[in-house]
Amino acid sequence: MQWKGVMPAMTTAFDAELKVDHAFIGRHARWLRDNGCAGMVCLGSLGEAATLTFDEKISVIQTVAGAVSPQIPVVAAISALSTAEAVALAQSVSRAGAQGLMILPPYVYQGDWREMKAHVAAILAATELPAMLYNNPVAYGTDFTPEQIQELAREFPSLAAVKESSTDVRRVTAIRALTGDRLAIFVGVDDAIVEGIDAGAVGWIAGLVNAFPRESVDLFNFATEGRKQEAFELYRWFLPLLRMDTVPKFVQLIKQVQQEAGLGSARVRPPRLQLEGPELAAAKADYAQAAAHRPAVAKRSTALPR
């Protein structure tokens, strides 16, 4: 398991009856791989995991692992209302073909550090898979501080990475100051990727990559290699779309962009509803603007296979 590079937070495709569209998910995963992505992260927030049944989650991992493994790793996000369910999910995705875990705090309950540490520890102990801790206090209300992350890293060898989505780039430098190279740090918000790399991040769990993988990989590589002018030109073009990843309706927005690009459907499961009215018009306009003014430095993603 190599914790580096651009790893899509994969959307979960649904058919017209809102059933999981496994055929599309497999094609989509292969297309992302062929456009340079380093791994697949499934069942996260963008993957609408909260609307998937336990069995659906396992089947998504099986589909993606069957499509891209062993060429690149599949990481399963572990989220649940209870620790017992999270442990069972971690064990099941391990058997289904996942090579790594991304551990979220429990849904709904915002516990203190003692409780959250016990939750994470139970999941880490449930399998031998390496794991990434997902810190997203904006969405989940639980903040794993750099000091707490350092404590977990000292006590649990299988903790290998952190997805930092606090929106504060200073967290990247703070975690590095406390843990050195012990943990691979991934940026988890799309519109902070260049700044995050400058601060020491080595990976990107990306959202708009679902529609623009080649461009996302190029941006990551330009920033990592210090090609600042190329990175700036591409970043400036990309930012209106990347900012879609930072608002409450990010799932609807990113899926709408996929549909506009001919790379998926805007279908979401309730309680989410597809965009309409001014929100839909704004999303369409942002996509059209980006499509019409793609910078010369950007490489177009190859066509999605049928």
Chain segment 39-78, per-residue pLDDT in tens = 999 999 999 999 999 999 999 999 999 999 899 999 999 9
Closest CA to 50 of 126, 103, 108: 108
**Domain range 5-292, CATH architecture:** Alpha-Beta Barrel (3.20)
CA separation for the pair 134, 77 (Å, rounded): 9
Q: Pick the closest to residue 8 from 72, 80, 95 (CA basis).
A: 72
Tell me the pTM: 0.95
Tell me the C-alpha distance between 16 and 55, whole Å.
20
3-state percent breakdown (helix, strand, coil) of the chain, nearest 5: 50, 10, 35
Confidence of residue 171 (pLDDT cuts 50, 70, 90): very high
pLDDT tens profile 266-295: 999 999 999 999 999 999 999 999 999 988
- Asked whether residue 306 carries a pLDDT value surpassing 70, the answer given is no
Where exactly are the structural domains of the chain? Answer: 5-292
Residues labelled catalytic: 134, 163
Q: Over range 152-164, report the average pLDDT.
A: 98
Would you call 19 helix, strand, or coil by DSSP?
Answer: coil
CA dist., res. 155 & res. 177, Å (int): 18
Binding site, annotated residues for pyruvate: 205
Annotated binding site: 205
Orientation angle between helical segments 170-179 and 146-155, nearest 10 degrees: 40
Extract the tokens encoding 159.
């903790």
> At 303, is the pLDDT very low, low, confident or very high (cuts 50, 70, 90)?
confident
